[in-house]
Structure 1
Amino acid sequence: MSCRPLQVAGRSELLERRLRRYHPRFQDAVRALAARHPRLAGLAASFPALLFALAVPRTRLDPARAIACVVDGAPLAQAAAPADLPLWLRKLPPEAFVRPIPRLPDGELFRRQIANHLPRSLKLAPCWLQLVAEAAELAHEPMAAWIAREFVREPRRVTTARVRLICLWAWFSSQPTTLGHDLIEKPWTPDMRIDAACSAAREWRTVVALHANLGRMPIADMWLRPGRMAGYEFMPLDSIATVVEEAKAMRNCLRTLGSSLAHNHSRLWSIRKDGERIATLRISRRYRDPLPNLIELQGPGNIEVSRELWWVARQWLHKHDLSQIDMRQFDWGTAPIDRESWPSLWRPYWLAKRRIPHWLPVAPSRTALELL
């Protein structure tokens, strides 16, 4: 009895097991391509990603040339080139592919780095691959290698919702001649961990929002006048620079109030004595009262201030004719973004990426700003 039928049956069974590992949605396409030639079927073992990429090509990719290379017995590197598929994908299992494979980084340094950060979990492999592709597209290859490493380390902390902002901040971290870079307090570096990167990116977004809300010109109407009372000096925080300086000196969160200032809901003042910053004051409406009120008055690090200082602040407030102050407010979300600041912030990114993404439009958008 010949053992050849048994060998053929064994190979068919092995191929079937490999094909079953592809996502059910794409099984028919993968099987149809594998059935066209034994060498194409062999990719299920030697290069699962290439078989998938040829069966489920991404938009505007014609797989014919790569398929011909495989059928002709060309080396895998030669066959993968017309499919624009990096060879490091050979190490990924069929379970990693749940959508057409996007463009992926393939620099020499990246290839060396990515080998150390491949996903160990079949379940997490698709998310890992998508994050690597997005990081490369949104930022650059070093960011793609970094996100691959951080996802393998702590997959629960690396989510697609976080990646866009982190990548935008990381890209501007490497662009020293841009306004976006000037607003960064802590730039991205490859040795950062995910939590530190998220924190620094959020801080940058806060300053970006302040800049987009206030623009370059000082707030024209501070409601009240600078002045002195009982030895204390009341100074307006009417610009990006004064707000940022006060926030740093007083260790508080004033930088988060850009939207409140733009919507005419608040005004900020610095209280000083003998040139020293003593407290930060926020003026706003309280409940149904249409007149200005003392809403917050706090010292460095948000500590409570004395009863005396509250009384001084109230005396200063009531030196003004409060009935004449226009405190009409914008409805939340309706105050316009500064038209000069928006393109100044994002133009370098649009030009470098040669596109204007839908999430970062040309027209100033409060929605886009809030979704970063």
Structure 2
Amino acid sequence: MQTEPAAIAFCREVLPAVSRTFALNIPVLPRPLDTAVMVAYLLCRIADTLEDEAHGPASEVLLAELARLSTLPAGWEADARRFSEEGARVLRTQAPEAEVRLVAGTARVLEALALHAVPVREHVASCVATMTKGMGKMGDKGRASGGGLGLASLEETLEYCYYVAGTVGEMLTRLFQWYSPAIAERAAALEPRAVAFGNALQLTNILKDVREDLERGSCWLPKTLLAEHGLTPEALLEPGNRGEAMKAHGQMVAVAHRELRKAFEYVMALPGQERGIRLFCLWPLFLAVMTLRKLYGNAAVLERRAVKVSRRTVKWVVASTRLLVGQDAALKLMFSTLTAPLPR
């Protein structure tokens, strides 16, 4: 049995610590698509960690350098080792240990990227470049240091979602097409919905983590929508504003629901014979549906109790979609039934 390269082994080891969702669904992808997606995700997660945990000029400089290194330029190995050391050094002391380890291992993740085919490397580098450029463009807009919490409008919230997640939807679509000629034939149906697939998952995370983000000094909700309810991001958690805050939160649940419907259309456009790729997409999609069901109208999302789906729900989603993965009519009925309680 052939021994796996050490760089790939490092990626497999660190993945579950930084994302339980991707640690669950990447293994169902066929090879070599599985390692391509794993490495791509980890590079995007490094960018996300730098954006979240290394605020200020250091973050912008490191994000630009990560984009450059992702193209694997001449002499990248030495530069990547320096980047790994500097990136880990500038993270805030409260940064999660697993994410610090990932940033410190950036050189190993880039080494794993170098093991893949040229088209894979090009698609990944393009995604990282767009993502990091967008993070620089959005800057500290959603943070107190950027002149006030919150983003200006729903359009700006969706723009933020595009840069941190919609770009990943685009990249995954290109990787899927690289791997599968059958998927490449369906590009016309998939590509217009690829961004919604990423945006839906990111909006769900924003709505789930609204209190945690506010306590960290960030808010990715649109100020215009909050203002319709007499609210500002700074006042969102005040107990006296709970009723109006939940109305505003419910409106954003409706936006996330809209994006999830487009994301479901995306999955249904994948050929049924590509079972692993379908499952890879179905699991986070249905977990997002179940999360929105739990969040909608639940004031606990603004309190100190974490709102998340249970392990039992995760197991049910995994088992149900495994059973129905090739049955479009049954999947459509399942999606329609589960999303029925969500606002439009």
Shorter-normalised TM range: under 0.3
Provide the TM-score with structure 1 as the length reference: 0.26
**Which structure would you say has the larger Rg?**
1
- Higher RCO by CA contacts (8 Å cutoff, separation 6 or greater): 2
Provide the TM-score with structure 2 as the length reference: 0.27
More strand by proportion, 1 or 2? Answer: 1
More helix by proportion, 1 or 2? Answer: 2
